[in-house]
Amino acid sequence: MSEAYTPPCPNWRRCGGCQLQNLPYHQQLMHKQREAVRILGEFGHVEDIIGMDYPLHYRNKVHAAFGLDSRRKIISGIYQPGSHSIVPVDQCMIEDETADRIILSIRKMLPEFRIQVYDERSGSGWLRHVLVKRGFATGQVMVVLVAVSPIFKLQKPFLKKLLELHPEISTVVLNVNDRFGPVVLGKREKVIYGSGYIQDILLGKRFRISPSSFYQINPRQTEKLYSIALGFAGLSGKETVLDAYCGTGTIGLCASSQAKQVIGVEINRDAVKDAIANARVNNIKNCWFTAGDAGQYMEGLAAQGHRPDVVFMDPPRSGSDERFLSSLIKTAPGKIVYISCNIETQRRDMDILLRGGYRVEKLQPVDMFPFTNHIESVALLTRTYVRSR
């Protein structure tokens, strides 16, 4: 009889972040493979899921909520699912260890510098959240203090002490969020130490990461994910590539050396600024980025009779929308490489693309988030016919 498996984290039931912690990692991969086949198998053969060699401490972005417990003691950690109750966390098996240590130091420093944490019930206090991002390849570290006011008393001595404890910190940003609600970051921010951004390296390209810009949470698996996506695209250097939902331009810039030109479209203007900066830092001259709705941009291409040869699409968890998919079908690129963080919505969207004249050629699941339910998937779709317009 096999020995009972004990989940390694004492908080796993309360935290809710690691839904599969009751399974050893090899069994998690088996479970995810079965789910990928169940949901995507109707489209064809699903390759074996690609797991991690070391599935711990992979999150390069760590967010901690700050508050008070029932004894009015300062705590920091993770919101319990479906509530604003904070589960105290000092260290987490999937979070970056450097980030966890910095957050713990900040929590211990607060009484010394007479910094009060925000109390949602009374509306009093100053500090709401701490966000830490680390470039795994560069070692650069960003700390974002999210507070209700831009007035930071004892800012200089606080920073002096924090940097003494953690000289690895590259920059500190004060973000102001004075609104009640689930959104962590506010729209106002000021840099109080360093440049206000960090950099990381992905597939040989250097990327700028700002407080609000999206960057893949698990960079080690991202390199595998993007290598698969580029392999599916099969670029020869002659293609025009559209990177829809391009974010800070990661996949498009990685594809640039294999394509004639790359066009990136992203609705988040801050992310587009980072994408343009990333192209400049890497001295890439065949990439062009624009802020706008991907569906609307595709409609414009279709109306002008322009057709990209390959489209990379990496939409949010909610998937793509009818407008974008309809425009994609009208524009009729030869290949679509669909990168998804939600295979349920990927299935829904691919059903629409199949009805519009595409077929699914390849399916490759990737485990980007060990110990959680999430499954990432890359699909290659090719055009079988051009639908009449």
Say how far apart CA 314 and CA 264 lie, in whole Å.
12
Q: How far apart are the first and last CA of the chain?
A: 64
* Residue showing tokens 């050396």: 257
Helix (H) or strand (E) holding 272: helix 269-281
Classify residue 249 as left (phi > 0), alpha (psi -120 to 50) or beta.
Answer: left
Are the C-beta atoms of 352 and 327 separated by less than 8 Å? no
CB 310 within 8 A of CB 242: yes
Residues known to be catalytic: 341
Can you list the positions of beta strands (E) in the chain? 61-68, 74-79, 86-88, 127-134, 141-147, 169-176, 188-193, 198-202, 205-209, 240-244, 261-266, 287-291, 310-313, 335-340, 358-366, 376-383
- Residue 258 pairs with which residues in a beta bridge? none
Which of helix, strand or coil describes residue 160? helix
- Tokens 């209700």 map to which residue? 148
User: Residue 100: what residue type?
Assistant: D
Neighbours of 17 (CB within 10 A): 22
- Rounded to 5 degrees, φ, ψ at 15 are -70, -50
